[in-house]
Structures are given as structure tokens and as C-alpha cells.
Amino acid sequence: MTQSSLPKPSIAIVGYGSQGRAHALNLRDSGFDVTVGLRPGGPTEAKAKADGFNVKAPAEAVKEVDLVAVLTPDMVQRQVYEDAIAPNMKQGACLLFAHGLNVHFGMIAPREDLDVILVAPKGPGALVRREYEIGRGVPCIWAVHQDRSGKAKQLALAYADGLGGARANLIETTFKEETETDLFGEQAVLCGGASSLVQAGFEVLVEAGYQPEIAYYEVLHELKLIVDLFYEGGITRMLEFVSETAQYGDYVSGPRVIDAGTKERMRDVLKDIQDGTFTRNWVAEHAAGLPNYNRYKQADLDHPIEVVGKKLREKMVWLDNSPKEQKEAA
């Protein structure tokens, strides 16, 4: 499909955080009419105004537009949908998500007259913006949940194209596949798996009497070199660059650490995701005011690897240590 044959809906972006800001800026630069919906007085309102957007309360922003992108944190989307979006979106408009969680697990049951689609960039908002600005794009996956107009697919492709995703790669998926694989990836491998692997490796070395500083370099700091090689050329490229000794150690010891038992437990994690147990627990945790979440988070922040890491990173003058907000805006 050529770019010129794609529709050009007017768009309201609700939420101006990591994804919201990048989507709003890229879509505007791609020629879409973009309004931003935010609760008045919230911390990101000033930013959206400074970027030159027409900012309205969500209930107002969604009223006249053809497409509403729901880009608030997942756990507040149901409330925002019920209070501001569902009562105000025009008949036959299109509702878009960047993660399928609320729709797939039934927290949001979108109005029958709406098209419901997903466009999820495979990268954080700052990268979505940066790649667009240099004429490239971040790959996007897209899906159609509900097609009332007969144009839901074209709307998803138009939005992904406006984000710059079509310059990279677009892959069709379903709400179920996107939601379950996204949760599994972040839990088993990316956030949960990787940080637990690093902490466990650090603990084993320190408990065996090695210096925490040395342990930090070996199991956390150097991980970046390995991940960069994965990113550039997969495991093949990592094997090209590390020593023969490192490769042999990888072959004989990797499978001793991540073994059939680990895979079995990964399947348990996946089962809890698929049958909704994880999401049910997370919704209840959020509703209860995050008591366990805060406790788990504090334990991670207090872990000895964080204490030694903070000290060592003070000497790494090349690091970008700017606060999250500033780093994302850069």
C-alpha cells in the first residue's frame, strides 16, 4: 500500500509520557492534526504546551477526532476510558492502544460502534522520536481487534506509518499475541530475568569472598558489551567477538545455569500470563495502593549491587546520568 492511499485521521493523544510525546510529535511532523488530552495541572501538561500542542482535558480532546490513542499508564486506562473517552468519542471513530492488556483481559470492553486497533512500537518513546528525526523509524507491530468501518487495518497502517514505523518494519499481530508476549518478555527475560540473573551472579561472587567492585564489573557493567553485540548481530556476533575461552565457558556452563528447570518455570510464568492470573493480581495490587510493589522495589534499590554500582559509576564520566524526564526529552 502506498503512503498516499492511507487515511489521514484527526488524532487525540491521551497521555504525554514516554510513548505519548513521541507519538504526538512524530504524527504532527507527518502531517496529522494532533490534539493532546491531559488532566489539567498534571506534570506533563506544561511539556505538551511547550511543544506547541493544543492541550485539552481528555473528555474534551476526544470529542471531535477520528482517532483516539490511549497512551496513559496501563493501570489507569480503564478509568480514563470509562470517565472521559467512552462517553465522548464520536460514533464510528477509532480507538488505539500501544499495548493490548486492558482490551485483551477485558478491563476495557470498547463501545460496539468503534474500530479498535493496536500499534506498538518496539522501543521506548525517546527512541521512537530520535529515529524519526533522523529519517528512520522503530519497527511497529499492529493489530485489529474490532473493525466496524472496514478501514481499521488502513488506520493502523496510517498511524504506524506516521510514527515512522513503516520506514523500519511493520508486523501484523493480535491483541492476544502482543499482550502475552510483551508481558512474558519483560517478566522472564528482559526486566525480571536479566536483573535476577545479574543479582544472583553478584551474590555468588561476593559470598565467595570476591570484592563487590570486581563482581559489579564482571556481572553488570560488562553486560552492555554483550547486549550490544546481540542487538547488532544476534548471538552469532557475540560469539565472533568474545575469546575462545569465553565461548567454551558459554557452551559448557550456560546450560548448567539456564536449564530445563528454568524453562519449566518460564512456562509457569507464561501460563499465569495466559490464564489472566498475573493481570488479576496486578490489578488488585494497583487497587490496594501498591504495598507489595513498593516493598519489592525497595529491596531492589537496597541490594548491595546498587550500593557499589552507584560508587563506581561516579567515576564513569562518559555516562548519561541525566534524570529520566530529561533523558526522554533529549
**Ramachandran category for residue 61: left, alpha or beta (phi over 0 → left; psi -120 to 50 → alpha):** alpha
Site string for ligand NDP, 64-103 (x = CB under 6 A): -------xxxx-x---x-----------------xx----
Q: Which does 42 bind (CB under 5 to 8 A by kind): ligand NDP, Mg ion, none?
A: ligand NDP
Q: Which three cell numbers stand for residue 46?
A: 506544561
Pick the closer one to ligand NDP by CB: 45 or 272. Answer: 45
Per CB under 6 A, 173 contacts ligand NDP: no
Helix axes 291-302, 277-287, angle to 10 degrees: 90
Q: Is 74 annotated as a binding residue?
A: no
Binding residues among 112-171 for ligand NDP as defined by CB under 6 A: 120-121, 124-125
For the chain, what is the total number of helices (H) and then of strands (E)? 18, 8
CA distance 54 to 45: 10
Pick the closer one to ligand NDP by CB: 28 or 99. Answer: 99
Q: Is 83 annotated as a binding residue?
A: no
Pick the closer one to ligand NDP by CB: 124 or 192. Answer: 124
Q: Which does 27 bind (CB under 5 to 8 A by kind): Mg ion, ligand NDP, none?
A: none
Site residues (CB under 5 A) for Mg ion?
Answer: 182
CA distance 260 to 281: 27
Pick the closer one to Mg ion by CB: 63 or 99. Answer: 99
**Catalytic: 221?**
no
CA distance 222 to 121: 27
Q: Is 94 helix (H, G, I), strand (E, B) or coil?
A: strand
Helix axes 260-274, 277-287, angle to 10 degrees: 70
Radius of gyration of the chain (CA): 22
Query: Within 13 Å of residue 190, how many CA atoms lie on the same side as its CB?
Result: 7
CB of 255 vs Mg ion, minimal distance in Å: 19
Alpha-carbon distances of 116 from 73, 144, 207, rounded to whole Å: 18, 6, 52
Site string for ligand NDP, 185-214 (x = CB under 6 A): ------------------------------
List the catalytic residues. 99
Which positions make up the binding site for substrate? 243
| Residues making contact with ligand NDP (CB under 6 A) | 15-20, 38-39, 42-45, 58, 71-74, 76, 80, 98-99, 120-121, 124-125
